[in-house]
Amino acid sequence: MSILSFSEATLQAMIEEMERDPTVFVMGEDIARQGGIFGQFKGLPDRFPGRVLDTPISETAILGSALGAALTGLRPVADMHFADFISVAYDELVNQIAKNRYMFGGQANIPLVVRAPDGIVPGAAAQHSQSVEGWLMNIPGLIMVSPSSPATAKGLLKSAIRSNNPVIYFEHKVLYPQKGEVPDKEFLTPIGKAEVRRAGKDVTIVAYSIMVQKALEAAQNLSKEGIEVEIIDLLTIKPFDLETIVTSTRKTHRCVIAHEGVVHGGAGAEIASQVQQEAFYYLDAPILRVGTKNVPIPFSPPLLDFVAPKVANIEQAVKQVLYREGR
C-alpha cells in the first residue's frame, strides 16, 4: 500500500493507463501549461509529450473533438475544469456522445471519459460548486461514476478509461488533497458495483462521493447511541447497484440516501423509487433523502452552511426513519 492524495491517485491512474495504451490521451484547458487547476495532471505533459493537449476555452470544442477522436479508435480523456461547464457542451454530450453508438447500430464504440470536478467548495458560489449528476440521470448511453477515496479514485478512473462506453467521472474538489491507502499492485474498481463500507443492522445509508465520509462520521456518532447503520458506497451513480442496496434494505428495513446534489430531482429520487419498488414490503419507514436545499449554492459562508448537507442532517434522517420522529 502507498499513501496518496486523491489527486495523486488519479494522476497515477492516468500514468498507468497512458503507459499501457498508446491510444489514451488527455485534452482540456490549462492541463499542459498548468497541470490542471487542482494539480491532477502535474508532470503528465513531460512524461507523455504530444498526448496532453491544451485546448481553447470552449467546452463545445473539447467534447466535440473528444467524440471524433473516440470514433476513430482513440481513447480521449476530456477535462471539464469544473463539472458545471458540462452545460456549455450539453448538446455534444447528450445528443452526440450518448447516442452515437446506438445510432450507428453498435458499429462504433465511444471509449471516452469526461473528467468533471464537482461539489461544494466554500467561496466558489453558484456556478462552480454544483453536483450536476441529476442533469444526466435520464440520458441513456451515459455512465456516471463518483469515487469517495484515493483508492476508488484510481480504480474507477482506470476502469472508465478502459470502458468502450462514455463515462462521466465526477471527482469532488474537496477530496483532492485528502490522503488514503492505495494498493501498489494493478487493480480496477468495477463499474456498476457498490461497496459496503460499514456493516450495520438498523438503517441503510446509501451515499457517494464526499457524502460517504460524512455518512461514516454520522455512523460513529450514532453508534455511541446504540444505533448501527450500514453504509453503501454507490461508486457508480448510473447504472447503480440496485441489488446491493435492496439486499441491505431488506436486512435493516430502513433506508436513507445522502448526496450533495440538490434533493429535488436529484439522483436520490431515482434510487429511492427503485428501492421502494423492490423492497416495499420490507420497509418499516419511508425512504428519506439528504442533500442540498433547492437553491443556488451561496457565496455567503452562513448561507452555505444552511444550504449544504451536513453530518447532523444524516443523523437526523437516520433517527427519523428509526423512531419516526418529526422533522
Catalytic site positions: 59, 128
Q: Do residues 78 and 113 make contact, with C-beta atoms less than 8 angstroms apart?
A: yes
User: Is there a cis peptide before residue 296, judged by omega within 30 degrees of 0?
Assistant: no
Measured distance CA(187)–CA(193) in Å, rounded: 15
∠ CA 104-110-113, nearest 5°, is 155
> What φ, ψ does residue 9 adopt, rounded to 5°?
-65, -40
Measured distance CA(266)–CA(118) in Å, rounded: 14
CA distances from 93 to 14, 43, 139, 231 (A): 22, 28, 10, 32
Measured distance CA(26)–CA(326) in Å, rounded: 50
Q: Could you tell me the strand order of the sheet in which 229-233 lies?
A: 195-198, 229-233, 203-207, 255-262, 288-292
Measured distance CA(196)–CA(249) in Å, rounded: 12
Residue with cell 470502458: 163
Torsion of CA 107, 115, 266, 126, to 10 degrees: -140
- Cell numbers for 119, please give them: 461539489
| Short-list 207, 216, 212, CA closest to 267 | 207
Sequence-distant (6+) residues with CB within 8 A of 282 are 249, 250, 253
Indicate the DSSP class of residue 232.
E
